[in-house]
Chains A and B, each alone.
Chain A
Amino acid sequence: MKLKIKNLTHDYDVNVFRDLNLELDGYQSIGIIGVSGSGKSTLLRIMSGLEQPNGGTVEINDRSVKDPFYRKTVGFVFQTHTLFPHLTLKENITLVLEKTRDIERHEASTIAEKNLERLQLLDQAHKLPKNVSGGQAQRASIARALSVNPDVVFLDEPTSSLDPILTHEVLSSIEDLKNLGKDFVFVTHVISFVRDFADYVLFMHEGNIAEHGAPSILDDPQTDALKNFMHKVR
């Protein structure tokens, strides 16, 4: 993935991004960490095109995140599953494909099944979200995000609403997606997952990218902020 952040400024909650700059190329899985309010989710939302920045530019794979077409090339997984509750897991996928990607019913069904199978959910395909576990629902929303064949998949603390066992279940199924040829950008509090899954880490602190580099920066923090953070999450 090619990522270019230039002079990014943005107000969010209590903090601000002031002139963020970053250029990366060749990484497949970028993990964003930091305490609550550090701006990690906001940065993820801006990168995904979900939120428009006040100033500056963000480009992913040479396309501006403001480009309306860009949205069609990304998948997004929220903190909660955001499945449409009146539709089965499978219908959640086929509706998106049929209505927003103009894929005909039969093909949509095939794609949905393929992606549900990838997340080990084929046997749950005809259940409503209320009738599956939180972990299964979150995995279904990952399957839905993948089914639109995105170039980049964004995951915003995908396990923050789950208990430790379901967290493990969801994270290990995300790890299984590594060889899919897609790029991932994710925010999480689970440091072991960052170590296993990320090949690049951004550490956010008070609206700044305080440290960034290979996951090994977690073992040898250079700033007090990251040292503190690692001390707390350990």
Chain B
Amino acid sequence: MNRSLSYLTSIAIFVAFAVFVALRQRSPFNPDAVLGYQNLILEGFINTIIVSVIALIGSVILGFVMFLLSASNVRFFKAFVDVFTEIIYGTPLLVMIIVMAFLIGPAFNSFNRPVLGVIGIIIYITPYMTNVYKSVFKSIPDEQYMAMDLFGFTGYQKYRYIIIPQVLRMLMPPFMNNFSLIIKGSALLNVLSFHELFFTVSIFQTRTFAYSEGYILMWILYIIITIPLSQMTKYVERRWSLE
């Protein structure tokens, strides 16, 4: 079987499986139920993208700060980042969001749950971002730094013309992978009644009782965002690879 045929067949199998599951539900499958709720669901769809972009930007920045701390010579900073990372690695995202919204936020007199939830996601993804920075900076071999020294590049020139242009290319694919994690993770913000995709579809379901329709729609909408993203990641990886 050739490549495209193999892929088309595989996709067809999964679609057939989804259709089978939809038809096996006890209530009749009625896609028209969504009429009248498309604006609500679109709002959730857009909100999911917005909070994910905010969480991406926040974690890219905070991850870089943590990377700088861990790369510093001050032992306390390193220890601080290590302890932080261990705590986050041991925490489920759902727990992180709840702790942030119902414990940490109120302790600082903040009760804006959506904002606290997004902060929770940012903090949760930050150590993963820090690791991305670590591995990317480590992947520039020592000899390249020696060559820069030998030619007499200044510190600024090294970063401006050699290190940063390389690092930016290498950072993109893992950033995009983490973005996909964030989008999927943002569904958990529904526990804070934030109007993201999962929550708006739930509203639609409770009002129309179109549960199976809602679940399938929700699933499809997440995949509509994440699969093109992962394909784009693969493309960027191939296109920008330096090896």
**Interface pair A99/B153, CB less than 8 Å apart:** yes
A211 → chain B, closest Cβ, in Å? Answer: 29
* Known contacts A50-B149, A86-B162, then 11 further A-B pairs from the complex at CB < 8 Å, ordered by chain A residue: A50-B150, A84-B166, A85-B166, A86-B169, A86-B242, A95-B161, A96-B151, A99-B157, A100-B152, A100-B157, A148-B151
B171 → chain A, closest Cβ, in Å? Answer: 13
The answer to whether B86 has its CB under 8 Å from any CB of chain A is no
The answer to whether B35 has its CB under 8 Å from any CB of chain A is no
A160 → chain B, closest Cβ, in Å? Answer: 12
Q: Which residue in B147, B153, B157, B165 is a CB contact (below 8 Å) of A76?
A: B147
Stretch in B57-65, B75-83, B138-146 touching the partner = B138-146
Measured CA separation A102–B161 after assembly (Å):
15
Measured CA separation A140–B200 after assembly (Å):
59
Measured CA separation A128–B240 after assembly (Å):
11
List 17 A-B pairs, Cβ < 8 Å.
A48-B150, A71-B150, A76-B146, A78-B147, A79-B143, A82-B141, A82-B143, A82-B147, A85-B166, A85-B243, A86-B166, A99-B153, A99-B161, A128-B242, A129-B242, A130-B241, A130-B243
Return the CB mask of A150-171 against B: 1 if under 8 Å, else 0.
0000000000000000000000
The answer to whether A109 has its CB under 8 Å from any CB of chain B is no
B240 → chain A, closest Cβ, in Å? Answer: 9
Measured CA separation A72–B242 after assembly (Å):
28
Chain B residues within 8 Å of A43, by CB: none
The answer to whether A80 has its CB under 8 Å from any CB of chain B is yes
The answer to whether A74 has its CB under 8 Å from any CB of chain B is yes
Q: Is the interface of B mostly helix, strand, loop or mixed?
A: helix
**Interface pair A82/B144, CB less than 8 Å apart:** yes
A91 → chain B, closest Cβ, in Å? Answer: 10
A77 → chain B, closest Cβ, in Å? Answer: 10
Measured CA separation A13–B242 after assembly (Å):
31
**Interface pair A130/B242, CB less than 8 Å apart:** yes
**Interface pair B150/A76, CB less than 8 Å apart:** yes
Residues of B within 8 A of A (CB): 141, 143-144, 146-147, 149-153, 157, 161-162, 165-166, 169, 241-243
Return the CB mask of A94-105 against B: 1 if under 8 Å, else 0.
011001100000
**Interface pair A80/B162, CB less than 8 Å apart:** no
Looking across the interface, which residue of chain A has its beta carbon closest to that of B146?
A: A50
Residues of A within 8 A of B (CB): 48-50, 71-72, 74, 76, 78-80, 82, 84-86, 95-96, 99-100, 128-130, 148
**Interface pair B153/A78, CB less than 8 Å apart:** no
Measured CA separation A85–B149 after assembly (Å):
17
Q: Which residue in A76, A85, A99 is a CB contact (below 8 Å) of B242?
A: A85
Q: Which residue in B146, B152, B166, B169 is a CB contact (below 8 Å) of A78?
A: B146
B236 → chain A, closest Cβ, in Å? Answer: 14
B125 → chain A, closest Cβ, in Å? Answer: 27
Chain B residues within 8 Å of A74, by CB: 150
Measured CA separation A71–B151 after assembly (Å):
7
Taking each of B143, B146, B151, which has the highest tally of chain A beta carbons within 10 Å of its own beta carbon?
B151
Measured CA separation A72–B144 after assembly (Å):
17
Measured CA separation A109–B27 after assembly (Å):
73
Measured CA separation A49–B152 after assembly (Å):
12
Taking each of B157, B169, B242, which has the highest tally of chain A beta carbons within 10 Å of its own beta carbon?
B242
Given contacts A95-B161, A99-B157, A99-B161, contact A84 B144 (CB under 8 A): yes
B95 → chain A, closest Cβ, in Å? Answer: 41
Chain B residues within 8 Å of A80, by CB: 141, 143
Measured CA separation A223–B149 after assembly (Å):
38
Give the 6 A-B residue pairs with the shortest CB-CB distance, closest first.
A85-B242, A82-B147, A100-B152, A82-B143, A78-B143, A100-B151
Measured CA separation A80–B143 after assembly (Å):
8
Given contacts A84-B162, A85-B242, contact A72 B141 (CB under 8 A): no
Chain B residues within 8 Å of A79, by CB: 143
**Interface pair A86/B152, CB less than 8 Å apart:** no
Chain A residues within 8 Å of B243, by CB: 85, 130
Measured CA separation A130–B166 after assembly (Å):
13
**Interface pair A72/B161, CB less than 8 Å apart:** no
Looking across the interface, which residue of chain B has its beta carbon closest to that of A68?
A: B152
Chain A residues within 8 Å of B162, by CB: 84, 86, 95
B167 → chain A, closest Cβ, in Å? Answer: 10
Chain B residues within 8 Å of A148, by CB: 151
